[in-house]
Structure 1
């Protein structure tokens, strides 16, 4: 089973950093930052910090485990984290140089239900978790 870690990155601007994926033949969709745990990672949290650095050129402060989504093929641990500074030009992830992977665009999305509802955020379960947290006032403004 593949084990992945993901970071719901909250910014000082009351936004969440998401990656918009544009791939040939597929409607655009958004994902939270993250990837698979490598054998060289000391822990899932270390893997998450590495992935954030590779994908957005920043350093995350992990707050807590938000949700785990598990299927027969993979386990994804979604962490709530904060990030103060990032530079998408400093990203180093190997996926960015692979042919045929499409585009990876970093977007700051307001923490509102309207903004989240306007996205095709995958997986759908995490989209619902984030929307619910915003509605309850746990992450940002409700609308």
Structure 2
């Protein structure tokens, strides 16, 4: 089973960081920073911190596990985390240099239901969970 970790990255501006994916022949969509756990990672949280370093050249502080989505062949753990600064230009993840992967754009999205409704955040199951957390005021309270 593939095990992935994702970070809902909250910023000091009460926004969150999302990656907009633009790929040929596919409508743009947004994803949360993260990736698969590697054999060299000591555990899920260490993998998450590594992914944040690779994808946005930042150091995150993990607040806790928000949600898990599990299917027969994949598990995705979604954590809440905070970052104070980042540099998308200094990213080092291997996916960014692979030919044919399309564009990756880092965007700050306000923590509002309107902002979440304006993007095609995938996976949609998690987008629904995240929207509910914003409606209940859970996310800004973690900073």
Question: Which category describes the TM-score, using the shorter chain as reference length?
Answer: over 0.9
Deviation per CA, 1:8-60: give whole Å up to 9, x if none.
00000110100000000000000000000000001110000000000011011
Other-structure match for 2:5: 5
Gapped runs of 5+ residues in structure 2? none
Other-structure match for 1:94: 94
Residues 112 and 140, structure 1, Cα contact 8 Å, conserved in 2: no
Other-structure match for 1:72: 72
Aligned length: 141
Stretch of structure 1 that moved more, 21-30 or 129-138: 129-138
Residues 8 and 17, structure 1, Cα contact 8 Å, conserved in 2: yes
SS at match of 1:20: strand
Other-structure match for 1:51: 51
Instruction: Please give the alpha-carbon distance, in whole angstroms, between the structure 1 residues aligned to 2:115 and 2:140.
Output: 12
TM-score by length of 2: 0.96
Other-structure match for 1:31: 31
Following superposition, the deviation at residue 138 of structure 1 comes to: 1.2
TM-score by length of 1: 0.96
Moved over 4 A (4+): none
Following superposition, the deviation at residue 140 of structure 1 comes to: 3.9
1:126 paired to 2:131: no
Please report the RMSD computed on the Cα atoms of aligned residues, expressed in angstroms.
Answer: 1.1
Following superposition, the deviation at residue 130 of structure 1 comes to: 1.1
Deviation per CA, 1:77-115: give whole Å up to 9, x if none.
000000101011110000000000000100000000100
Gapped runs of 5+ residues in structure 1? none
